[in-house]
Structures are given as C-alpha cells and as structure tokens.
Amino acid sequence: VSTAADYLRFCQMLLNGGELDGARLLAPKTVAHMASDHLPPDVRYGETTRPRFGALAPVPEMGYGFGLGFAVRTAQGRSPVPGSVGEFFWGGVTGTYFWIDPQEQMAVVLMLQAPDQRLHYRYLTRRLVYAALTGSRARRYR
C-alpha cells in the first residue's frame, strides 16, 4: 500500500539524482541513464500508443523518446503540451500520472481515476503549472 505522498517522495528522489533525505538510493549516473532516450531512430514505439497518450506519445516528431521506465522529452518537437527538454514522465491507464522536470526543479504527481478524461486533466495540469511558472496565461489545448 502506498500514498500520493510516497509517490511524490519517489519522484523527489529521482529529481535529486537518486538521493532523498540525505540517503543515497541510486547513483546519479543511474538516474541519468534512466532518464535518457534509449530508442533507436527507426523504432516507432509511440505510433501504437498515440491513441492512449495523445500529444504525450513517445514519438520523435513530438519531441519524445523512451528511457528506462518512462517517456523522455528529447526536443521541443511539435508537442502542444508545455515542458522542458530533459523532463521525464509516465501515466497509468486510469489517469495517474507523474512528471519530473529537472530544468524547473519540479516533480508533479496526479492521482486521478478518470480513464475517459485522463488526457484532458494531464494537459490542463501541465498548462496551468507552466503558465504559473512563466506568469503567462495558460493557452487552450485543441
């Protein structure tokens, strides 16, 4: 059994390069390796997952690859979803979702159970968070 707070602590450990509360759990090189794209250019992983992930599908033209356990933003690409190169994320089928943005020193966890609306809430949360960081208005996702 775990909690949203536990999930966030795990994300914080990854954001800290493998360290949490002064305890080293993973080597910094391990975390960097986990959060690096490991897909060769000819692998089209995201093509089959696009219906479930929408703009966050890990495909190169959208600016995403895949690391060890999660998608990785490799370039700004064509994704309409705000974020930073180097961020990594993943989500569950019913809507749970996390993303870690090392450039912004930020980890976010969404714990929702809304399978039919999961993409809406993921995009909305991202737009609101990055708009708050930049002081701009959140643009609408279409």
Q: Which pTM does this prediction carry?
A: 0.84
Q: What is the pLDDT of residue 4?
A: 93
pLDDT at 54: 63
Residue 22: inside a domain? yes
Residue 71 in domain: yes
Integer-rounded Cα radius of gyration of the chain? 15
The CATH code of the domain that includes 41 is 3.40.710.10
Could you tell me where the beta strands, DSSP code E, fall in the chain?
Answer: 19-20, 23-24, 64-66, 71-73, 88-91, 97-101, 106-110
Range of the domain at 89: 4-134
Number of domains in the chain: 1
What does the pLDDT look like over 58-75, one tens digit per residue? 666 778 888 999 989 998
Do the domain assignments include residue 53? yes
Instruction: Give the span between the Cα atoms of 65 and 86, in whole angstroms.
Output: 10
Residue pLDDT, tens place only, 76-132: 877 878 999 999 999 888 889 999 999 999 999 999 998 888 888 988 999 999 999
Q: Which residues of 70-101 are buried (b: 16+ CB within 10 A; e: fewer)?
A: bbbbbeebebebbbeebbbbbbeeebbbbbbb
Could you tell me if residue 141 is inside a domain? no
pLDDT of residue 12: 98
85, part of any domain? yes
In a domain, 142, yes or no: no
pLDDT one-digit tens code per residue, 12-58: 999 999 999 999 999 999 999 999 999 887 776 555 555 666 656 66
Using the predicted structure, report yes or no on whether residue 135 has a pLDDT greater than 60: yes
Residue 41 domain-assigned?
yes
Q: Where are the alpha helices (DSSP H) in 16-106?
A: 28-34, 45-53
